[in-house]
Amino acid sequence: MQTDSPTVKIPLRMKSKFFEPAQLIIPNPELLINLVSRRVRQLAQGHRPLTQTDPRMDFSEIALKEISEGKLGYEFPSDTEVLLEAPVIPTE
């Protein structure tokens, strides 16, 4: 006999002391997640950290520390860059 118990969803919390300072620099959560994930991928491939690290830090903490120290940021392409990269569709 199976008992049906309701599933309880517990929100995950980031336990990094660098998360809140990084969030102050990049307030958009989607942009922050994308930036951290791209930097984690680079660090996993062997790129060197841009800041002093502790051997116990994982890649996401290193990325968040780099963002919170202002050593890692983002920039949106300008309108001319977007137009230059747009594909040309031939007309018949």
Q: What is the pLDDT of residues 18-35, one digit of tens each?
A: 889 999 999 999 999 999
- Residue tagged 């002093």 (tokens): 52
pLDDT at 14: 58
Is 4 contained in some domain? no
pTM over 0.75: no
User: Domains in the chain: how many in total?
Assistant: 1
- The verdict on residue 70 lying in a domain is yes
* b/e map 1-36, b = 16+ CB within 10 Å: eeeeeeeeeeeeeeebebbeebbeebeeeeebeebb
Query: In this structure, is residue 81 part of a structural domain?
Result: no
- Domain membership of residue 39 (yes or no) is yes
User: Does residue 27 belong to any structural domain of this protein?
Assistant: yes
Which residues of the chain, if any, have pLDDT below 70? Answer: 1-15, 79-90, 92
65 in any annotated domain: yes
- Domain boundaries, position 51: 19-74
Domain with residue 49: its CATH number is 3.90.940.10
